[in-house]
Amino acid sequence: MQTFYRDTGAFLQRLNPLSKVLAFFPALVFVALVTDPWTPLAFIVLTAATVLVLGRVPFGYFLKVAGPLLLLVVGFLIFYPFVVRGELVAGSPVLFTLGPLTVYEAGILYALATALRIYALILLSLSFTLTTDATDFVRALVQQWRLPYKVGYGALAVFRFVPMLGSELAAIRAAHRVRGLSEGGGPRARYEQLKRYAVPLLATAVRRAERTALAMDGRAFGAYPERTYYRRLRFAPRDVLFVGGFWTVCLLIVLALNAAGLLGPLVLLQTT
Amino acid sequence: MIGQAPAGRRGKLAGWSTRDLLVVAAIGAALGVALIPVTYLGLTLMATLGPFLYALSTSLSRVPSVMTMYVVRRPGAAVLGALVAGLVQVPFTPTGWVILVAFALSGAACELPFLLTRYRRFGLPTLMISGAVAALLGLALQYVPFGYGNLALLVQLALILTAAAGGALITGGLAKLLADALAKTGVLSGYAVGQKRQEV
Amino acid sequence: MSPIEIQDLRVRYAGRKAPALDGVDLALNEGETVLLLGASGSGKSTLALTLNGLIPHSLGCEMDGSVRVAGMDTRQTEVAGLSQRVGIVFQDPEAQFVTLKVEDEVVFGLENLCVPPGDMDGRVDRALARVGMAGHRHRRVDALSGGEKQRVALASLLAMEPRVLVFDEPTANLDPVGTREVFALISSLKERGEHTVVLIEHKLDDLMHLIDRVVALGEAGEVLADGPPRAVFRDHADALRSPGVWMPQTALLAHRMGGRGLPLDPFPVTPDEAERALRRQPIPKIVGAKRRRTPEGPPGTSVNGAPAIEVRDLSYAYGDDRVLDSVSLTVPRGDFLAVVGANGAGKTTLALHLAGVLRPPRDAVFVEGRDVSRTPARDLSRRVGYVFQNPEHQFVTDSVADEVGYGLRAMGLPEAEVAERTAAMLERFGLSRYAKANPFTLSHGEKRRLSVATMLAAGQQTLILDEPTFGQDQKNAGEMMALLRELNAGGRTIVVITHDMTLVAEHARHAAVMSGGGLLFCGPTRELFARPDVLSRARLEPPPLARLAARLSRHDPAWAGLLTLDDVAEPEDPRPEGAQRRADLLP
């Protein structure tokens, strides 16, 4: 299975994973609450630039991952105008009618704003995935944000199960084919099929979990309330620089949009 | 040299053995991997058919929480199962750490009904209530960013009902079916769900 | 003080009536290397888990009696303290890692013990150097070979500086290359003499020179024999043989020679000792007239005269990886073919093409004369059965009877006939009493038998098995091979992928050697073992007895050509004429 992480050794990849969470979090919350299309658009550009410049993620690769997600925007544009609440579009010019459904210009605008907002949220999340080693993220959560180490290392141990589960699934499918089993059918057949795959997969995972637990206990896992760490994850000056810098840029964008009169009211402050 | 760390005080999750921890994590991981396509499906559904099917697909993604709770029956199992199911998806889906937060929250929501029964009831009704409660809370969280508040009122009502029913049937029902099928293989003989089937 | 002292130890798992261990008394001596033997289910692994306190601390079971590690009662000592005295390397190299990198893995135990980070560096370096992995500190665990994984597993224990090391079937999941690595590692531990070693293993001949003491457990979890290897294998052979305890081939050979009135003194337990003892006395006739008992079976009942399987110039690439490189191969009907080679040589990929799991290109693979690429999957699955390495993967129903009946129902047979044929199959494979059981609850050997039964239920004439004895004990492996020979004698074509060269020598009529995706050799098994060039290129070794015989034959040509124990003449053996076949009659 392909992970999205690109270890280019660039600035973003060398950051503490948590500083990326800190930097992006306010932006995510803010974008989730805006109602105009311009703010998400600005954040889409900012995020793409950050990933491409500071993360040195190859442009082609970025397009390959981020491109298909644009379908989402298109989907929203098609679906949303038909179901939007009546009073929001009252008085807006009618674009066209399709049987009992009427599409207003305001409906399209709402759809566009919502679609861009969701795309901006996804891109902000994607920038983390593209530049962060998931195991380092777990370590940082354990060491710095007090995720109980038992949970963190339990999760790390089963990270190793993922490729095993993938190859097991392939083996199970092949084994079923040898038995002359075909896929597809009605809901009942679907459930039977799900069960035939899931049960051996889960059984293998549970047994392996029990063996791994013994190997971990045999190396004193959970012996003490705390443990020491060979590799200590900390916030370095570059992390402070990045978080501060990113927040500043975000703030400047918001101020600029506001000055240009493009920033719409935030959802929570809306009075409709 | 015998370890020189402060002894005595028990750590967090004191009641959890490594084995329980890993079994919950393994079920979470296995289902988490299986749910990767569902996460993508959810994104596409959101794009094409809208919030109804999306609500159903998130019900699928809560199966690990309810299932791990049903299997090990310990406080925290639903949150833990959800956390791991979310965590294994981090490297494979574009949603990043956000999915982790989403899973953790929905795990906590699934945990709630069990907490309220003081972890004494694990029958199908409790599992279904857990799934429905989590689906409704999840829907509430999506209301603002996804702009559901702007939908026609009838559509909103239908959405709420779909989420509740989907949560009860898909999350609660499937979690029980899968766990019972797994228990029949004998690998869960160390847990309450597998006890009555023990042979030899 | 004895590093480990066990008194009247009894362990019983929850939900089981019979105890796993029943009254074990054992005191290990400082610095000795102990081989722990026992039949399947005799509690070897259970005993290993009591040595560092995982029983009773981590696994819920009843434990009576006492285990003392360096004088400390394990019941009263926390696993953390015990983990610095006793470390266990487990069978499955995959299941004992927690992190993704070698370095993280080695520090894991130290971190749990709250060792100050500044002290870790030196301990990591020393531990990795000790297992010959010094330069691999920053590698990813999943990029390591099986043998390297076991070395890292040991290093992660050595970093915690235990005095006792336990190896629980460390090579059971490894290919021959990995097995040699692990044995070399145990040998270097022995040379340094700093550790007391307890070893559970059944590939014995290449190991016996390291062993100071053998402890054998019986079926009821009691100590069957305990002493120096020579005494145990010389004096307790019958007691060991009946429950199916694995013994070195060398010792079995010595017993057979003794039975011919040629007792060897001193009784040999290592190949070197056997060579010395056997060179001292001239032996009239060693290789028996009956030679090998390879079953020939009746000639295949062929309709169109086509071979069971024919492969013509088959290549296969996975990405940029050329996994199969123009392989051509013919398997006659009724043959017993072994496909051998190191891990990654392409054996399984080839086999998957034969069963149509991987779709071959046109005119590349023929089964009973039909082009696999043009044969519908359902039709093919009635001609070729394929038994996967993990039998569980093939289970598709909730009961043993339904498993067997599944293929019959798919053929559209009436229910009465399905029931009748299913019952007959279960009877034949010794599974009748489990008819209603869930397939997953069977023992490992029974699961394997069931998967063979399901693959033959529809009357398949060709059976392909991927590692039918992998990870199994000797008794189960022996039963499986006996079953395959019986099927072969009944006319079925058997293709086996295996690492076990003793199995090849004893059972296969032909051998195909894969290396780097190409077919290096295909011919009679006996010819393969006469080709050291082929074997070394494919990184294979003849079975232990064949190697001994090769060394002896330089001085006494009477030893030439001996491959297995069955080749040794037993003049008093009144075997019927039909069982005596000569290898040179083979096709």
User: Tell me, what's the ipTM?
Assistant: 0.87
**Per mean pLDDT, which range of A10-19, A173-182, C388-397 is the poorest?**
A173-182
In-domain check, residue A224: no
Q: Is the CB of B3 less than 8 angstroms away from the CB of C81? A: yes
- Report how far residue C215's alpha carbon sits from residue C196's, in angstroms, rounded to the nearest whole number: 14
A40 & A116 share domain: yes
Please check the confidence at residue C299 and state whether its pLDDT lies above 60. no
Q: Are residues A125 and A253 in the same domain?
A: yes
Contact status of C20 with chain A (Cβ, < 8 Å): no
How much is the pLDDT for A269? 46
**Residue A260 and residue A191 share a domain:** no
Q: What is the mean pLDDT of residues C245-254?
A: 90
So what's the pLDDT on residue C298?
42
| Residues of chain B with C-beta less than 8 angstroms from the C-beta of C80 | 2-3
Chain C contact present for B199, CB below 8 A: yes
How confident is residue C407, by pLDDT bands cut at 50, 70 and 90?
confident
User: By CA distance, what is C109's nearest residue in B?
Assistant: B3
Spatial distance between the Cα atoms of C380 and C53, rounded to a whole number of angstroms: 52
pLDDT of residue C531: 92
Q: A182 and A149 share a domain?
A: yes
| A11 vs B: CB within 8 A | no
> What is the pLDDT of chain C when averaged over all its residues?
88
Q: Are residues A24 and A61 in the same domain?
A: yes
The alpha carbons of chain C give a radius of gyration, in whole angstroms, of: 25
Q: Which of A189-203, B82-96, B172-186 has the highest mean pLDDT?
A: B172-186
CA distance C92 to B99: 32
Phi/psi for C89 (5° steps) reads -95, 125
* pLDDT above 60: residue A271: no
Q: Which candidate, B9, B13, B141, B30, places its Cα nearest to that of B76?
A: B13
Per the structure, the complete domain to which residue A118 belongs is given by 11-134+234-269
Give Cβ neighbours of residue C190 (< 8 Å, ≥ 6 apart).
Answer: C33, C197, C210
C533-579 pLDDT tens trace = 999 999 998 999 999 998 998 888 888 888 888 887 655 444 333 33
Nearest to B90 among A134, A199, A207 (CB): A134
Which site among C72, C441, C443 would you substitute to test the B interface, given the most B Cβ atoms closer than 10 Å to its Cβ?
C441
Average pLDDT over residues A195-215: 93
Residue B175 predicted with pLDDT over 80: yes
The residue behind tokens 């040699």 is: C180
Please state the length of chain B.
200
**Is A193 within 8 Å of chain C by CB?**
no
Query: Does residue A198 belong to any structural domain of this protein?
Result: yes
Subunits with 3+ C-beta pairs closer than 8 A to A: B, C
C318 lies within 8 A of chain A by CB: no
In this complex, the chains that touch B, judged by 3 or more CB pairs closer than 8 A, are A, C
Residues A110, A158 within the same domain: no
CA distances from A212 to B35, C96, C102, C124 (A): 23, 5, 16, 21
Q: Does C157 touch chain A (CB under 8 A)?
A: yes
Give the mean pLDDT of A202-223: 94
Specify the pLDDT at position C445.
83
- Write down the domain spans for chain B: 16-187
pLDDT of residue C274: 92
Claim to verify: residue A71 and residue A187 sit in the same structural domain: no
Q: Is any Cβ of chain A less than 8 angstroms from the Cβ of B154?
A: no
> Minimum mean pLDDT among A93-107, C96-110, C301-315, C472-486: which range?
A93-107
- Mean of pLDDT values over C184-188: 95
Structure tokens at C246: 């694995």
A188 and A126 in one domain? no
Which of the pair, C139 or C297, is modelled with greater confidence? C139
Beta carbons within 8 Å of C305's beta carbon, 6+ residues apart: none
> Which residue type sits at A249?
V
Q: What interhelical angle do A17-33 and A105-131 show, nearest 10?
A: 180
Across the interface, which of B3, B34, B48 has its CB nearest the CB of A79? B48
List beta partners, residue C324. Answer: C316
Give the pLDDT mean for C44-53: 93
Number of domains in chain A: 2
Q: Among A162, A164, A204, pick the best mutation site for testing chain B contact (most B Cβ within 10 A).
A: A162
- Domain assignment present for residue A228? The answer is no
Asked if A178's CB is within 8 angstroms of C381's CB, the reply is yes
Closest Cα in chain C, distance from residue A201 (Å) = 9
List chain C residues with CB under 8 Å of B1.
84, 161
User: Measured between alpha carbons, how far is A203 from C442 in angstroms, rounded to an integer?
Assistant: 13
Least confident of A69-78, B60-69, C346-355, C559-568: A69-78
Domain shared by A112 and A149, yes or no = no
What pLDDT digit, counting tens, does each position of C94-145 carry? 899 999 999 999 999 999 999 999 999 999 999 999 999 999 999 999 899 9
Quote the pLDDT of residue C84. 93
pTM of the complete model: 0.88
Q: Does residue A226 sit within a domain?
A: no
Q: Can you tell me the mean pLDDT for C148-173?
A: 94
Q: Are A59 and A114 in a shared domain?
A: yes
Question: Is A189 touching B (CB cutoff 8 A)?
Answer: no
Residues A110 and A190 in one domain: no
User: How close, in Å, is residue A179 to chain B by CA atoms?
Assistant: 20
What does the pLDDT look like over B100-155, one tens digit per residue? 888 999 999 999 999 999 999 999 999 999 999 999 998 888 777 677 777 778 88
Q: What does the pLDDT read at residue B46? A: 62
**In this predicted structure, what is the pLDDT of residue B5?**
35
